[in-house]
Amino acid sequence: MKFTIQVNEGPYQHQASDSAYHFTKAALEKGHKIYRVFFYHDGVNNGTRLTTPPQDDRNIVNRWSELGKEYDLDMVLCVAAAQRRGIVDDGEAQRNGKDATNIAPGFRISGLGQLIEGGVQSDRLIVFGD
């Protein structure tokens, strides 16, 4: 089965990101395909490289980056949601006159069309969070 995953909540204020990560990892390990992971609303906070959780806590951003690298996942942050929350890649920094970037490895920024395409191309679109 082919899935697109939508994550609507940030990494530490809600269980949604943890649940989405564990579901995605389990699906991949069982041989399913993940067409795309789309981070929307506060979910884009899963894609900032500036999070620094305490050493005894899980690093959710690193978990996503490592899973993305291991399985060559397409992990997309919604551009409008990312801009509102100060998350930028090289292109967005240049376009908006910012002097730094903070996107985590393995993530990219794009529009809502990527979510729609994921829903069309997949057997199931699974949403985590409100």
Q: pTM of the prediction?
A: 0.96
Percent of the chain clearing pLDDT 90 (strictly above): 97
Angle between helices 60-71 and 16-29 (to 10 degrees): 20
3-class secondary-structure state, position 127: strand
Q: Domains of the chain, with CATH numbers?
A: 2-128 (3.40.1260.10)
Any residues with CB less than 8 A from the CB of 130 and at least 6 apart, and which?
8, 9
What's the token pair of residue 94? 């240049």
Q: What is the DSSP letter of 74?
A: -
**What backbone phi and psi angles, to 5 degrees, belong to 39?**
-100, 125
Which residues are catalytic, by number?
A: 78
What's the token pair of residue 116? 């729609």
pLDDT of 108 reads 98
Write the pLDDT tens digit of every residue in 26-84: 999 999 999 999 999 999 999 999 999 999 999 999 999 999 999 999 999 999 999 99
